Amino acid sequence: MASASQHRLRKRLLKAGHFIGLFLAMCVITIPGLWVVLNSFRPTVEIMAKPPVWIPNSLNLDHYRAMFGGAGQGGIPVWTYFTNSLIISVTSTLIALLIGMAGGYAFARYKFKGKAMTFVMLMATRAVPGVALSLPVFIIFGRTGLIDTHLGMILVYVALNVPFTIWLIDGFFRQVPKELAEAAEIDGCTRWQAFWRVEFPVARAGIASAGIFAFLTSWNEYALASQLTRSVSSKTMPVGLLDFTSQFTLNWGGMCALAVLMIIPALILTFLVQKHLIAGLTFGGVKG
Applying CB under 8 A, does 277 fall inside the site for other proteins?
Answer: yes
Identify the CA nearest to 210 among candidates 173, 249, 161, 256: 161
Instruction: Write the single-letter amino acid at 40.
Output: S
Instruction: Write the single-letter amino acid at 130.
Output: G
Applying CB under 8 A, does 261 fall inside the site for other proteins?
Answer: no
Stretch binding other proteins (CB under 8 A), from 1-9, 180-188, 210-218: 210-218
Shortest distance in whole angstroms from residue 280 CB to other proteins: 9
Applying CB under 8 A, does 270 fall inside the site for other proteins?
Answer: yes
Shortest distance in whole angstroms from residue 243 CB to other proteins: 6
Give, as ranges, the residues between 75 and 104 that touch other proteins (CB under 8 A).
98-100, 102-103
Residue ranges of alpha helices (H) inside the chain are 2-39, 44-47, 62-68, 78-109, 115-124, 130-144, 150-175, 178-186, 191-194, 200-220, 223-228, 237-241, 252-281, 284-287
Shortest distance in whole angstroms from residue 1 CB to other proteins: 21
Applying CB under 8 A, does 188 fall inside the site for other proteins?
Answer: no
52 contact partners, CB below 8 Å, separation of at least 6: none
Size, binding site for other proteins by CB under 8 A: 124
Q: Is the dihedral of CA 271, 222, 150, 258 positive or negative?
A: positive
Longest dimension (CA), the chain: 81
Identify the CA nearest to 213 among candidates 282, 156, 141, 273: 273
Q: Which is nearer to other proteins, 114 or 188 (CB)?
A: 114
Give, as ranges, the residues between 157 and 186 that touch other proteins (CB under 8 A).
158-160, 162-164, 166-168, 171-172, 174-175
Which of residues 68, 80, 90, 118 is near other proteins by CB under 8 A?
Answer: 118
Q: Which is nearer to other proteins, 53 or 87 (CB)?
A: 53
Q: Please tell me whether the peptide bond between 51 and the residue prior to it is cis, using omega within 30 degrees of 0.
A: yes
Q: Distance of CA 103 to CAs 158, 171, 246, Å? A: 13, 11, 44
Give, as ranges, the residues between 42 and 61 that touch other proteins (CB under 8 A).
43-45, 48-52, 54
Beta bridge partners of 245: 250
Give, as ranges, the residues between 21 and 40 that touch other proteins (CB under 8 A).
21-22, 25-26, 28-30, 32-33, 35-36
Applying CB under 8 A, does 3 fall inside the site for other proteins?
Answer: no
Q: x-or-dash pattern for other proteins, window 220-259, by CB under 8 A?
A: xxxx--xx--xxx----xx--xxx-xxxxxxxx--x---x
Stretch binding other proteins (CB under 8 A), from 1-9, 181-189, 267-275: 267-275
